[in-house]
Amino acid sequence: MTAGACHELRLEIDSRLECVTPLGLCLHTLARQLGFDDMQAYQIQTCCVEALNNAIIHAYAGEPGHLVSVRWHTQANELLVEIEDCGRAMTVPPCEHEPDPEAESGRGWWIMRQWMDSAEYCDLGERHYVQLRRSIGEA
Amino acid sequence: MDDLQLQDYPQARVIRLNLGRLTASSAAKVLTRVLTAGAGAPALIIDLSAVEFMDSTAIGELVVLTRRLREAKRPYCLAELRPPLMSLARLMRLERALAFCDSVQSALTRFEQPPTQG
């Protein structure tokens, strides 16, 4: 783990898709500071962007004016990222299957599960979050 | 600079996306413009060399775009994806559904070839 890197951070954006890109860039930089190489940081950024997009598009139905928060933290040799919303809860479990290459949607969870060590959805009633885990040891 | 840059060759029109990111907030509009910009061309080469980041929504929009091109019997190629994006495309096994080329030049060469007989 890289000394001087940020190990605990909370970031918030409004539920607008145009807010996701700058936040994704920020998360890429944070991942690089933890010692992940550029490709690994790109993968972490992509997975976080997928979870953020899901919160905005599905939980908030694309409606601006709601909060999406990211909790970025490390424990032991693991990065944990929690993307939280207070919108509509996911009612159908995320698909475990590889998406059809011709599909127009439904790839987000597959990407998260392939590129992170784990990607889980947690429903706490009024709020819900996606928890992404990735070992820092491999960086 | 316009975010779409067009260059015509006898065999194809190259449309370069001068965008660093193709994401859920922009992909549908941009790729609809690509379709319009490609009207009348014998083939389309979509140069993605400037695109550094793409999310799964943008991938879905690319699938829609290429489906429309196929339905219109318009040859196309997605050229010069950066390595991270190509790794994302391979993860999704997109090479089974979409036509990729390493470079604009190789795509131009591909479209130069006369159709095979039979």
Residues of A in contact with B98 (CB under 8 A): 101
Length of chain B: 118
* Enclosing domain of residue B103: 4-111
Quick check: A42 and B84 CB within 8 A? yes
Task: Give the Cα separation of B83 and B85 in Å (integer).
Answer: 5
Nearest residue of B to residue A49, measured between CA atoms: B55
pLDDT in tens, A56-80: 999 999 999 999 999 999 998 999 9
B contact set with A (CB within 8 A): 21, 23-25, 53, 55-57, 59-61, 63-64, 67, 83-84, 87-88, 91-94, 96-98
Nearest residue of B to residue A20, measured between CA atoms: B25
> What pTM does this model have?
0.91
Q: For residue B64, tell me if it sits in a domain.
A: yes
Contact (CB, 8 A) for A59 and A85: yes
| Domain boundary assignment for chain A | 15-135
Q: Does the A15-135 domain belong in CATH 3.30.565.10?
A: yes
Report the CATH number that the domain containing residue B84 is assigned in CATH: 3.30.750.24
Q: How confident is the model at residue A96 (pLDDT cuts 50, 70, 90)?
A: confident
The pLDDT value recorded for residue A130 is 96
B118: pLDDT strictly greater than 70: no
- Which of A111, A112, A114 would you mutate first to test chain B, the one with the most B CBs within 10 A? A111
Strand ranges in A1-139 using DSSP code E only, listed in sequence order: 8-14, 67-75, 78-85, 118-123, 128-135
Alpha helix positions (H), chain A: 20-33, 38-54, 108-115
DSSP A58: I
Q: Supply the ipTM of this predicted assembly.
A: 0.86
Q: For residue B14, tell me if it sits in a domain.
A: yes
The pLDDT value recorded for residue B116 is 59
Looking at the 3D structure of chain B, how many domains does it have?
A: 1
Q: For residue B116, tell me if it sits in a domain.
A: no
Q: What is the DSSP string of B29-78?
A: HHHHHHHHHTTT-SSEEEE-TT--EE-HHHHHHHHHHHHHHHHTT--EEE
pLDDT in tens, B63-104: 999 999 999 999 999 999 999 999 999 999 999 989 999 999
The pLDDT value recorded for residue A112 is 96
Q: How far is B54 from chain A (nearest CA, A)?
A: 8
Residues of B in contact with A21 (CB under 8 A): 21, 23, 25, 53
pLDDT in tens, B20-41: 999 999 999 999 999 999 999 9
Task: Give the Cα separation of A120 and A126 in Å (integer).
Answer: 17
Q: For residue B118, tell me if it sits in a domain.
A: no
